[in-house]
Amino acid sequence: MIGLPYSMKLAGFPLGLLLLLGVAYITDYSMIVLIKAGAMSGTNTYQSLVSRTFGFPGYLVLSALQFLYPFAAMISYNIITGDILPKIFQHIPGVTSESVLADRRFVILVTTAIVTLPVALYRNMEKLGKVSLMSLVLTVIVLFIVIIRASSLTSIIPHTEDAWVFAKSNAIQAIGVMSFVFMCHHACFLIYGSLEEATIHNWSRITHVSMMISLFISVQYSVFGYVSFTGLIQGDLFENYCKDDNLATIGRFFYAITIILTYPMECFVAREVIANVFFGGTLTYVLHLAVTVVVVSLTTCISLAYDCLGMVLELNGVLSATPLVFIIPTACYLKLSEEHWYHVNNIMPCFILLLGMVIMPVGFFMAILYPQECNHGRDLFYCFSKNSTSTILYPMNASEISTT
């Protein structure tokens, strides 16, 4: 969610909010369509649904996308870890910007070796169950910090010239980021099967409530994150807060915990896909160890070499989240439907399918051709107050900031 303010910058703030509502609605709709398609085909997993509908080639495409999504998410989590922890460590007496603890590559390597890899080696997902609750609580705490910080920063940091432009040309890239945030289709059948009364009506009700809560939190992050920094916003929201901002450091600490503990859950999903495609769904102890080490090592190497979170969010959104949210659920439903594609009941699935087929290639080429600037590990100009950089409590007017 810390990437959502960045999506407002890409799309334009007013249009960005409208797109956020639209992507939330489409995600909600496609999750319901996915379960309906499962009921129509007599299947109870995403993989079996696609296999029944589009055969083995469809299964391979889905598996590739279901691997790519958590794999890219793991890369983004490592990038965030490398962004956040060095700034936290620099609050330790004796640790400076030249210290090894301030080096993002060293921090990523140590965190991976000591925390994420050992936890990722768990074979049972249930052992990570409490992490979800902790992540939710910490996410809300971080949100409160973002809101509190916005109340002081909006009067200090000058808005960029195009801050309130209705729409910008990078809107499709913004949709990719939003799709990445809301995508949860890989868990739909698992949750649906756990309901005491598994009916389409109950599933629809639960989906609506869950999406409304997610949307409410997402809007708060988008609004308060964006109004704080407007066009200066980075793909990682915490990169915009000054290194010596004590309240932001507390937020960084809580968010770092969330990220580090969520990484193994994504690794579990990626490893499960590999097990299903290449090893019949079961991994021996040696294979479990080997696959985990290889996946973690690859994501670590990529995150060491590349540090632009915004680009990772964009590409993962358009290449994996968009087909998983927009294209595949609706394509399965339309193929299984006994009615013609132009029937009134199929208008919305057709629209979402076509929208996804446009967003995916256009968003990819725009992300490559028009990459956004990244600022990592360096304070932005407004942090260099002549009075104080500790908490930005000494306001300067816009001309003073520009001069600084």
pLDDT at 386: 45
Average pLDDT over residues 345-357: 90
- Count of CB atoms within 10 A of residue 100's CB? 12
CB-based contacts of 110, cutoff 8 Å, min separation 6:
none
What is the band of 188 on the pLDDT scale with cuts at 50, 70, 90? confident
Average pLDDT over residues 221-229: 90
What is the band of 126 on the pLDDT scale with cuts at 50, 70, 90? low
| pLDDT digit string, tens, across residues 303-343 | 998 877 778 888 888 888 899 989 999 999 999 888 777 77
pTM, whole model, 2 decimals?
0.81
Nearest C-alpha neighbor of 118 from the set 281, 263, 275, 283 = 263
| Per-chain mean pLDDT for the chain | 83
Average pLDDT over residues 362-387: 73
Q: Does residue 382 contact residue 394 with C-beta atoms inside 8 Å?
A: no
Pick the CATH number of 4-403 from 1.10.3720.10, 1.20.1740.10, 1.20.1250.20, 3.20.20.100: 1.20.1740.10
Decide if pLDDT at 394 tops 60. Answer: no
CB-based contacts of 83, cutoff 8 Å, min separation 6:
104, 236, 238, 239, 307, 309, 376, 377
CB-based contacts of 136, cutoff 8 Å, min separation 6:
none
Q: What percent of the chain has pLDDT over 90?
A: 25
Q: Does residue 315 contact residue 364 with C-beta atoms inside 8 Å?
A: yes
SS3 state of residue 284: coil
Q: Which two tokens stand for residue 307?
A: 């540090």
- Say how far apart CA 46 and CA 83 lie, in whole Å: 35
pLDDT at 193: 79
pLDDT at 134: 78
- Say how far apart CA 311 and CA 235 lie, in whole Å: 8
Domain ranges of the chain: 4-403
Decide if pLDDT at 47 tops 50. Answer: yes
> Of 15-24, 136-145, 162-171, 371-380, which gets the smallest average pLDDT?
371-380
Q: Does residue 182 contact residue 207 with C-beta atoms inside 8 Å?
A: no
Q: Does residue 296 contact residue 69 with C-beta atoms inside 8 Å?
A: no
Within 13 Å of residue 241, how many CA atoms lie on the same side as its CB? Answer: 28
The letter for the amino acid at 342 is Y
pLDDT at 125: 61
- Say how far apart CA 353 and CA 347 lie, in whole Å: 10
Q: Which two tokens stand for residue 382?
A: 């407004």
